[in-house]
Amino acid sequence: MKKVDVILGLQWGDEGKGKVVDVLTPRYEVVARFQGGPNAGHTLEFNGEKYVLRSIPSGIFQGGKTNIIGNGVVIDAVLFREEAEALAASGHDLTKQLCISKKAHLILPTHRMLDAAYEAAKGSAKIGTTGKGIGPTYTDKVSRNGMRVGDLLSPDFESIYAAAKARHEKILKSLDYQYDIAELEKQWFEAVKYLRRFHIIDSEYFVNDCLSQDKSVLAEGAQGTLLDVDFGSYPFVTSSNTVCAGVCTGLGVAPNRIGEVFGIFKAYCTRVGSGPFPTELFDETGERLCDIGHEFGAVTGRRRRCGWLDMVALKYSIMVNGVTQLIMMKSDVMNDFDTIRVATAYEIGGRTTSEFPYEITGDLRPVYTEFEGWKCDLRRYGSYEEFPEAFKRYVEFIERQTGVPVEIPVDDPVALRQLRQLRRQAGAVACGLPNRQSRNEVCFYAVSPSRGRAWGGADSRTRRNAATTAVKEGKGFNI
């Protein structure tokens, strides 16, 4: 029986998961979202057009794949319809490719109002939510008052909705929050009719049946590990479990059915919204990271806060997720930096620790290790030998610190065997770099003493053949 492979972000989100998922999906028959809502987006480029996926799995661009929105996801029917219709206009028939769990919860118009009301009531202590109604929807879920996708099939649908709306209106009145949902409510009911066109399924049975039939399944998360409601920088977190354990509860699969866990992280750190950020830079360096890295939210457009790589947080994320493979993104953003820093410990109240604390307070100070910058365009190089020594020192330091043996999944079985042989000789860190032609197509270099190299992007026979030849010659491999 197959196992579910998982792809996760290891920081505060925006690590580039969508691009990596798009590279990996040719290997898989099923791609599933297991948590979150439309408050996070994956930006992908397909046939020269950019798309932001907020609720729909990234495998939707791969023809013939089954895509699942799992029970751990919350769905806004209005935003879902907008997203689905935009994809349909590009030639993707989602009604044939996309299945939705009956147990996924619905974001109601009043959930959005509650989100805004709660934030307004917090004043300066606000969390910095996207205002999409995610938190109130999960609140209804755990308080057993939620409305689920399966309720759309019930003859009592309208009365279920009315009861939920009435509960919300009482809360809004108590908060003295003024609102008008007439237009939004009209759009929501129209969007609900659209939602009924899709396959609404018992997703836990569907996913486990796929595994029993030896079908390959990839589970993708939405937000990063450090936004997990239990293990993130609480209370400045999202409202669901973004870690690997969330796959079990968000799709209905047993822990022993989890396979590879791909951990995605940037060569530096970013965060959107409020909340602690130990390595945040408030100077010109932070501005440079933001501008060169195009660090703006895919859904909200908000400018991302930027800082140095936080090794304490990264090792914590690897631990709680059981990461088996690392992929580092956007190292080329620092091509022109003279000095690069990595936080390897925290000083808290005069004590030095390498553990991620229960609470990140104002007296926390990161302890940095400095590296000489590589001062060149990494995209110019075609082999490991050509990479500057400064860059190799940076990558190999990360590998030593994390202790995670890293490999990149390869579409070609011959290349995969070769890669695993290389991995037995020495671990490799995968570094995602933008393609020379497009910042939205990812190139992967498998960096190791064995000097592997990999290009990622469109799945093509030409690339697979070239990759197989390269591996046989000891030069590299292709995704």
Nearest to 247 by CA among 239, 238, 256, 237: 256
Please indicate whether residue 168 is annotated as part of the active site.
no
22 with 31: CB under 8 angstroms? no
Nearest to 98 by CA among 167, 197, 164: 197
> From CA 344, how far away is CA 401, in angstroms rounded?
9
Q: How many CA atoms lie within 13 A of 421 on its CB side?
A: 11
79 with 52: CB under 8 angstroms? no
281 with 306: CB under 8 angstroms? yes
> From CA 80, how far away is CA 71, in angstroms rounded?
15
Nearest to 131 by CA among 298, 296, 273: 273
What is the chain's percent helix, strand, coil content, to nearest 5? 40, 25, 40
Of the listed 5, 22, 42, 76, which one is catalytic? Answer: 42
The amino acid that residue 253 corresponds to is V
If one counts every other C-beta atom within 10 angstroms of the C-beta of residue 360, the result is: 18
> From CA 22, how far away is CA 17, in angstroms rounded?
9
Of the listed 5, 14, 22, 140, which one is catalytic? Answer: 14
- CB neighbours of 449 closer than 8 A, spacing ≥ 6? 425, 426
Please report where in the chains the tokens 């709680």 appear, as a residue.
320
> From CA 28, how far away is CA 218, in angstroms rounded?
6
Please indicate whether residue 111 is annotated as part of the active site.
no
318 with 362: CB under 8 angstroms? no
Q: What's phi and psi for 164, nearest 5 deg?
A: -65, -45
8 with 321: CB under 8 angstroms? yes
The amino acid that residue 241 corresponds to is N
Active site positions, annotated:
14, 42
